[in-house]
Structure 1
Amino acid sequence: MKQSLQLKLGQQLTMTPQLQQAIRLLQLSTLDLQQEIQEALESNPMLEINEGEADGNSEEQASNETGDNNTAENDTTPEAEGLSQGPEDLSVGSSEDSAPQESDSEGEWNESIPQDLPVDTDWDAVYQSSGPASSAPAPDEENDFESRRSVGESLQDHLLWQLNLTPMEDRDRVIAMAIIDAVQPNGLLDSNAEEIFQGLGDQLNEDDSELEIDEVLAVLHRVQQFDPPGVAGENLADCLLIQLRQLPADLPYLEAAKTVVSEHIALLGNRDYKTIMKKAKLKEAELKHVIEIIQSLNPSPGDSISASTAEYVVPDVFVSKQEGRWMVQLNPEIAPKIRINDSYASLIKRADSSSENTFLRDNLQEARWFLKSLQSRNETLLKVASCIVEKQQGFLDYGPEAMKPMILHDIADEVDMHESTISRVTTQKFMHTPQGIFELKYFFSSHVATSSGGECSSTAIRAIIKKLVAAENPKKPLSDNKITQLLEEQGIKVARRTIAKYRESLNIPPSNERKRLV
């Protein structure tokens, strides 16, 4: 093969570092954004937290000091049809008495970036999706009890704490620690008493007296009296029996409940009530009271002692109805307000190429682009959220059953952005509505054709299934085929396997497991 030199012309999309920063901030969640702002405050001396003082002319003065004669731009977010919006709020509906508001600080910047952020399809080759990150510590967070509990207490820690408070001989304490080590996170043992006895034989048989199985059983019964009730049960029936023994002895139908749990737990799991009534010699009304007692027990007592910490959702957007119109507002508390430090910006001298002046000039440039990127992120998020609210007003008024089918392409066409940009904006961003707090991606769903030629959202179908199951007869629950027929009567054509998929996504068990006694 002969080597040769050739000239070739081509076009390639190249994103500037400023545009890359803007897009990266666009995809961050609230917690990630707070951490990013905190890192920028720590690394850039030109940035400081705005404590609410009026500084409308601060950046203009800094611009005059640098001698930059670029024309300032006053960017305003374009109005969509039927929308009126400012930098921090939008209203859906008639907007004759509303007008776009100009940003107070945006016009002061010498640089500008495109308002609609183009994103190429090879985004993953440039950036990786961001994972969950912890928020930056607030000054008053030190006094918060939940913030100090960085790691929750495990079930083993809880049991060992009770063991230390229990008077016990050293030999029995070793047995108890072996039993606690065998307790699973759900509270049940992963080894029976015989296996624990065999495991302790080599360790304790070296003493004067040989270990016996009765010693292990005696210590196991003491550990089973620990909190939470039902802990250290060998199986589900044993766990429930431990809890039943701790109930008051004069509780009606307590003995019958112990009999059903110890002898007919498999029949109870299959909801074979007729066989249980026949073998336990119980009437239907009596079995109903027995089942109520058993249902009050906890089959996984270890779940009440969880090592996981609480996760809080901070909404990025608030939606409320005012004077017949749905208003969309950004949450002003999701990120600290920052600005450019006037003192440091005034130190920049004209036509000075010293290292100190270059350092200040570069940091001032980065600070301006960072503030501009934050402003662009807020405007884009507000624009997308307002478009979602405009299309899903039925959901806001009537709930999930009125959800309209919507895909990313619908919003992308409406706001004139790329679908990948809409996907980044709606990921890990939450909206507070009268119906609850939802991720923006919740409002996007596929559609199912109706008999009238229209479309029905899959989210609305799930809501209808949930409503039908809630209103069903507990003695004769609705099967998937019956739910399919009921939906077809409403003009919604859905296959039975699709109903089964939607039901499982709602954590609704099959009809045979939903059967109850009335």
Structure 2
Amino acid sequence: MLKQQLNFKLSQKLSPQQIQLMKLIQLPTQAFEQRISQELEENPALEKGKEEKDSLDDDFDNSDDYEQDSEVIETEIDVDEYLSDDEIPSYKLAANNYSADDEDKQIPYASGVSFNQHLLRQLNTYRLSEEEEEIARFLVGSIDESGYIRRDLQDIVDDLAFTQNVYTSEEKIEEVLQIVHDLDPAGVGARNLQECLRLQLERKRETPAVALALDIINEAFDHFTKKHYKKLLSKFDITEDELRNAIHEIEGLNPKPGGTYSGNTRMVEHVVPDFAIKIEDGELQLTLNGRNAPELHVSREYTNMLKGYKAAKERSKSQKDAVMFIKQKLDAAKWFIDAIKQRQQTLWVTMNAIMQHQYEYFMTGDERKLKPMILKDIADTIDMDVSTVSRVANSKYVDTPYGTKLIKEFFSESMKNDQGEDVSTREIKKILEITVSEENKKKPLTDDKLAKILKEKGYPIARRTVAKYREQLDIPVARLRKEI
């Protein structure tokens, strides 16, 4: 049985323009520049740079009263909506206070030799049989960025058989691996940290400290990693000074020999600050990176095309189709320019609210001055949605007098101190970090003792909370912080 009924419901849908704005807001400066380049390539109606003054009368009116339903195709187009002789489009009145000198230029990168190529070139200096060369090249190809081979020899035997048609044994691979171990940098091709340190010590000039360090790595590596110094003193029947010298030799070794290769051509991430905060005459000054305020305008040629269409007495179907295409491109250009202006405003307003909320920190640089701050605090201040604030804070950096900081690092939860005041968890972490740095390394403080010290300073937190904050700060447990 068929039945008809009316239903009323409220729903919220984002327009294409709003979606475009949200996507632009979350982009950091470098990604934003790439997005502009992409739009310039895809939309011929959009151009970069300043527009000639004599084209002011030829452009379309950038009013907000016009909305186009992309699904409706009009047979008659009101060209006057795009051409105006009476007023200057608002996008042409936008001020840009950034000079060309403020623009950061792209940094060229010199090409170089990769870590694996560096190792393969060294293999060419060895006299190897055809089988040994195949195995050696495969082993070098199995070395990761840190300089380690993290695969079982049996897996390598199987892979050589299946992929290289080389049938060999673990013994033969072990033999060729000793050749790989002779390559530079020292320690390359090791299968674990113990082997890596041993290979490096074996290359050092032999001294009593180096010999003792080698014995410790070979015979008491577990005691060394757990810092059981008393057991080491007893096992090798040595003095504290001798042990201290041996440990000094080990600490000078490189646990990741591949990571410091000078010719490594891994992608280097360069942070481009989206904002800059300076202290001028005792006041904070916030600026938006000039690269976030590009000069864009609508193509003069496209608006001239519309003028030609308007003047034409006879209009064919192909002309109407062409004008529909022009109309769509002009709409897209207008929306994109408007979205960029809104993006600039949203970024500045949001960062200004964060700066004012953390005023004491930006004036002093003392992380203990950071106030508790969550996304909702800033969203309420600027009367925007929490998701918008999240997009601004995500993956964006601010250049401060104390270094370039990730914006989301200024957000933190709050805790109550012994006086009932809200304090930032960042403040507690900073005090914990300072307390650990000032401890006696011969008798490092346990988590229980750290909790008691923080309680005495007015921060009543549990031992498990201290352990959590310590792990977040990458501070090892007390036993591993011990020094002889």
TM-score between the two structures when normalised by the length of structure 1: 0.76
Alpha-carbon distance, 1:199 to partner: 9.4
Match of 2:332 among 357, 363, 366: 366
**d(CA) in 2 for partners of 1:217 and 1:22?**
59
Could you tell me which of 271, 285, 304 is aligned with 1:327?
285
Q: Distance in 2 between matches of 1:315 and 1:196?
A: 45
**1:481 corresponds to which of 440, 448, 462:** 448
Q: Which residue of the partner structure matches residue 91 of structure 1?
A: none
Which residue among 236, 242, 256 is the counterpart of 2:193?
Answer: 236
Alignment of 1:271-282 (within 5 A): 271-282=227-238
2:273 pairs with 1:315: yes
1:383 to 307, 327, 349: 349
Does 383-392 or 265-274 show the bigger shift? 265-274
8 Å Cα contact 1:448/1:494 also seen in 2: no
What is the alpha-carbon distance in structure 2 between the residues aligned to residue 459 and residue 404 of structure 1?
8
Q: Secondary structure at the residue paired with 1:320?
A: strand
Question: Do the aligned partners of 1:448 and 1:457 also contact (CA within 8 Å) in 2?
Answer: yes
Q: Helix, strand or coil: the match of 1:456?
A: strand
Among 163, 166, 173, the residue aligned to 2:126: 166
Deviation, 1:175, is 4.4
Aligned-pair CA distance for 1:322: 0.7
Offset at 1:277?
1.2
Contact 2:92 2:297 in 1 (8 A): no
Offset, 1:182: 5.5
Q: CA deviation at 1:399?
A: 2.3
> 1:83-125 CA deviation, whole Å, 9 max, x = no partner?
xxxxxxxxxxxxxxxxxxxx86249xxxxxxxxxxxxxxxxxx
TM-aligned CA distance change 1:67 to 1:339, over 3 Å: closer
**Does structure 1 retain, via aligned residues, the 8 Å contact 2:147–2:189?**
yes
Per-residue deviation, residues 106-163 of structure 1 (Å, max 9, x unmatched): 49xxxxxxxxxxxxxxxxxxxxxxxxxxxxxx9986x8225x67xx8354x4422321
Distance 2:136 2:31 in 1: 45
Match of 1:48 in 2: 47
Please report how far the alpha carbon of residue 513 of structure 1 lies from its aligned counterpart in structure 2 after TM superposition. Answer: 0.8
Deviations for 1:334-368, whole angstroms, at most 9, x for unmatched residues? 46432223343233224767333333333222212
Which structure 2 residues correspond to residues 7-18 of structure 1 after superposition, within 5 A?
7-18=6-17
CA offset digits 1:385-422 (Å, max 9, x no partner)? 00000010122113222110011111111111111221
Where does residue 293 of structure 1 map in the other structure? 249
Task: Call closer, same or farther: CA 1:4–1:170 in 2, change over 3 Å.
Answer: closer
The answer (yes or no) to whether the contact 1:59–1:340 under 8 Å persists in 2 is no
Partner of 1:37: 36
TM-score (norm 2): 0.81
Say whether the 8 Å CA contact 1:456–1:492 is kept in structure 2: no
Alignment match, 1:132: none
Q: Provide the rounded CA distance (Å) in 2 between the counterparts of 1:192 and 1:63.
A: 69
Q: 1:22 to 1:199 in 2, by over 3 A?
A: closer
Is 1:448–1:493's contact at 8 Å kept on the other side of the alignment?
no
Q: Which amino acid aligns with 2:6?
A: L
Q: Residue 482 of structure 2 aligns to which amino acid in structure 1? A: K
Distance 1:19 1:234, change over 3 A: closer
Distance 2:181 2:394 in 1: 46
User: If each structure's helix is expressed as a fraction of its own residues, which one has the higher value?
Assistant: 2
Shift of 1:217: 5.6
Once residues 481 and 6 of structure 1 are traced to their aligned partners in structure 2, the CA distance between those partners, rounded to angstroms, is 68
State the Cα distance separating 1:177 from its structure 2 match: 3.5
State how 1:39-438 maps to structure 2 within 5 Å.
39-50=38-49, 53=50, 55=52, 58-59=55-56, 61-63=58-60, 66-68=82-84, 105-106=93-94, 144-146=108-110, 153-155=114-116, 157-177=117-137, 179-180=139-140, 183=143, 185-190=145-150, 213=171, 219-249=176-206, 251=207, 253-305=209-261, 308-334=266-292, 336-349=294-307, 350=310, 354-355=319-320, 356-396=322-362, 397-438=364-405
Q: SS of 2:277's equivalent?
A: strand
Return the alpha-carbon distance in structure 2 between the equivalents of residues 505 and 46 of structure 1: 50
CA 461–73 in structure 1, closer or farther in 2 if over 3 Å, else same: farther
Letter in 2 for 1:153: S
1:201 positional shift:
11
**Partners of 1:12 and 1:71 in 2: CA distance:** 37
Residue 435 of structure 1 deviates from its aligned partner by 2.2
Deviation at 1:255, TM superposition (A): 1.5
Paired residue for 2:461? Answer: 494
The aligned length equals 446
Contact 2:56 2:88 in 1 (8 A): no
- Distance in 1 (CA, whole Å) between partners of 2:425 and 2:142 is 45
CA distance in 2, matches of 1:491, 1:300: 42
CA RMSD, Structure 1 to Structure 2 (Å): 3.5
For residues 104 and 367 of structure 2, the distance between their equivalents in structure 1, rounded to whole angstroms, comes to 40
1:399 touches 1:435 (CA, 8 Å); kept in 2?
no
Question: Are residues 10 and 158 of structure 1, via their aligned partners in 2, closer, same or farther at CA, if it must alter by over 3 Å?
Answer: same
* Displacement of 1:515: 0.7
**How far apart are residue 284 of structure 1 and its match?**
0.8
Query: How far 1:279 moved relative to its partner?
Result: 1.6
Structure 1 residues 351 and 6, CA, compared in 2 at 3 Å: closer, same or farther? farther
Contact 1:481 1:496 in 2 (8 A): yes
Unpaired segments ≥5 residues, structure 2: 62-79, 96-102
**CA distance in 1: counterparts of 2:249 and 2:278, whole angstroms:** 44
Aligned to 2:297, the other structure's residue is in SS state: strand
C-alpha distance in 1 between matches for 2:27 and 2:429: 30
Is 1:450 aligned to residue 450 of structure 2? no
Contact 1:59 1:342 in 2 (8 A): no
Amino acid at match of 2:474: N
| Contact residue 454 and residue 461 of structure 2 kept, 8 A | yes
Structure 2 distance, partners of 1:240, 1:431, is: 40
5+ residue gaps, structure 1, are 75-102, 108-137
In the superposition, relative to structure 1, how do residues 71 and 293 fare at CA in structure 2: closer, same or farther (>3 Å)? same
**Structure 1: how far apart are the matches of 2:374 and 2:291?**
29
Instruction: Report the Cα offset of residue 196 of structure 1.
Output: 7.3
Task: Identify if the C-alpha distance between structure 1 residues 330 and 182 changes in structure 2 by more than 3 Å, giving closer, same or farther.
Answer: closer
The answer on whether the counterparts of 1:30 and 1:335 sit within 8 Å (CA) in structure 2 is no
Q: Aligned residue for 2:100?
A: none
Percent of aligned pairs with the same amino acid: 31
8 Å contact kept, 1:106–1:372: no
Structure 2 CA distance for partners of 1:24 and 1:69, relative to 1, 3 Å: farther
